[in-house]
């Protein structure tokens, strides 16, 4: 979900007050307890680096005032490090662990792109295929291509910006079908002619998921499992609308989407989880642990499932400034290109109500950093910058 879309939901905050008390909440700081008692670390790197990373994560959690942070770092020729700091359930004081899973939001787009690119690599579809080949009765479907959908240059209206969508999702807790979301995308006015500009639209990735299922005859979850998750032993990754989720999906909290932060309250978003899962679909419906996300991110850039030609296509970036992600300098095929401290990183950010996340790969040095949090909206890029400045450099 895009940050702009999330903020728009504030409009319905006053109406929500009536339903507010049906969900659990807690107030004040999320902190409490000794820092060493509420952390869980799994490491194969040297003790000094591990200690420094833990210090950064615990300090960042305090500064950002989040219930928990789950962080994974992969450093070439050094090893892997994962940490969970804070509470999976603040009210019940359940400590987060590195095996807990978080809603990763729009990081899901990197997964959807990988599935589409594998279908392209296998000759099932083509980047230059028109949308009309797979979807009837969609505005300008003869002009829009798979490439336009992948890099958000289609101009298609973003259904999550629709006020009716926001009201029904938040007030009525509506569960959405693919067809209903595409109808919203059809009804909205196009932003520009296909290929003329860049505008981030979740409708693009719902269409891609629909196309993947149509051409393969398989649910998206099955495609993802067969092509990427099973070969890489990623058993802490799930597609929310099609998989049976384990019980340890961490609870997400909000201070910004519904405006409850103004009251000093962090609102438990569990009651809104299923509506947003269904409306996220392949634009934002994956849940995973940070270590699984890091492994997947690394596989996109260095793995064997996608060949070098396919990876090169994914890493073809268009100019794509984004006011919600000021570090962004370009957008590829399901990949954001960001700049931290003069270094180019590639991957994706992800917001899901109750969660803020980022997973980035360094093409120059080969490391991966993933940061997941259970609070929306949080400056998780700050954690990457700290790790980059104090450890990776």
Q: How far is CA 130 from the centre of its chain?
A: 27
How far apart are alpha carbons 369 and 301 in whole angstroms? Answer: 13
Residue numbers of the chain with a pLDDT score lower than 70: 1-37, 256-265
How far apart are alpha carbons 370 and 378 in whole angstroms? Answer: 14
Contact 376/350 with Cβ under 8 angstroms? no
Contact 315/328 with Cβ under 8 angstroms? no
Supply the pLDDT for residue 285: 96
Supply the pLDDT for residue 170: 87
Contact 355/272 with Cβ under 8 angstroms? no
Supply the pLDDT for residue 146: 98
Supply the pLDDT for residue 30: 43
- Residue 2 CB neighbour total at 10 angstroms: 23
Comparing CA positions, the residue from 104, 103, 109 lying closest to residue 282 is 109
Supply the pLDDT for residue 51: 95
Q: What are 322-339's pLDDT values in tens digits?
A: 888 899 999 999 999 999
Comparing CA positions, the residue from 350, 352, 349, 351 lying closest to residue 360 is 349
Supply the pLDDT for residue 33: 46
DSSP run (H or E) holding 70: strand 68-75
Contact 33/354 with Cβ under 8 angstroms? no
- Residue 13 CB neighbour total at 10 angstroms: 15
Structural domains of the chain in order of their starting residue, each with its CATH number: 3-392 (3.40.710.10)
Q: What are 205-245's pLDDT values in tens digits?
A: 999 999 999 999 999 999 999 999 999 999 999 999 999 99
Identify the three-state secondary structure at position 110: helix
- Mean pLDDT for all residues in the chain: 89
Comparing CA positions, the residue from 78, 120, 95 lying closest to residue 40 is 95
How far apart are alpha carbons 370 and 78 in whole angstroms? Answer: 17
Q: Give, in degrees to the nearest 5, the angle at Cα 62 between 60 and 66.
A: 90
Supply the pLDDT for residue 297: 98
């Amino acid at each position: 979900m895009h940050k702009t879309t999330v903020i728009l939901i504030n409009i319905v905050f006053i109406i929500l007050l009536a339903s507010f008390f049906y969900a659990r909440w807690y107030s004040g700081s999320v902190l409490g307890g000794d820092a060493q008692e509420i952390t869980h670390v799994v490491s194969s790197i040297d003790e000094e680096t591990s200690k420094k990373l833990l210090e950064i994560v615990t300090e960042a959690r305090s500064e950002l005032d989040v219930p928990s942070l789950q962080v994974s770092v992969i450093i070439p020729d050094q090893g892997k490090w994962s940490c969970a700091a804070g509470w999976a359930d603040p009210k019940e004081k359940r400590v987060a662990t590195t095996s807990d899973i978080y809603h990763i939001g729009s990081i899901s787009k990197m997964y959807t792109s990988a599935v589409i690119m594998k279908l392209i690599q296998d000759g099932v579809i083509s980047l230059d295929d028109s949308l009309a080949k797979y979807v009837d009765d969609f505005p300008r479907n003869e002009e829009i291509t798979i490439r336009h959908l992948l890099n958000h240059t289609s101009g298609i209206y973003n259904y999550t910006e629709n006020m009716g969508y926001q009201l029904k999702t938040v007030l009525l807790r509506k569960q959405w079908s693919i067809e209903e979301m595409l109808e919203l995308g059809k009804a909205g006015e196009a932003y520009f002619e296909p290929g003329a500009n860049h505008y981030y639209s979740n409708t693009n990735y719902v269409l891609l998921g629909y196309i993947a299922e149509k051409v393969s005859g398989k649910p998206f979850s099955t495609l993802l499992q067969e092509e990427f998750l099973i070969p890489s032993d990623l058993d802490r990754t799930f597609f929310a609308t099609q998989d049976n989720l384990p019980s340890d999906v961490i609870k997400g909290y909000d201070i910004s989407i519904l405006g409850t932060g103004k009251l000093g309250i962090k609102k438990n978003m569990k009651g809104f989880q299923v509506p947003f899962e269904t409306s996220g679909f392949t634009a934002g419906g994956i849940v995973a642990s940070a270590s699984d996300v890091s492994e997947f991110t690394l596989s996109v850039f260095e793995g064997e499932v996608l060949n070098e030609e396919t990876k090169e296509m994914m890493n073809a970036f268009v100019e794509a400034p984004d006011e919600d992600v000021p570090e962004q300098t370009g957008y590829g095929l399901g990949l954001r290109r960001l700049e931290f401290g003069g270094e180019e990183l590639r991957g994706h950010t992800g917001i899901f109500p109750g969660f803020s996340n980022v997973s980035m790969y360094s093409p120059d040095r080969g490391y991966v950093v993933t940061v997941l949090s259970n609070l929306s909206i949080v400056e998780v890029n700050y954690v990457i910058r700290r790790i980059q400045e104090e450890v990776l450099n």
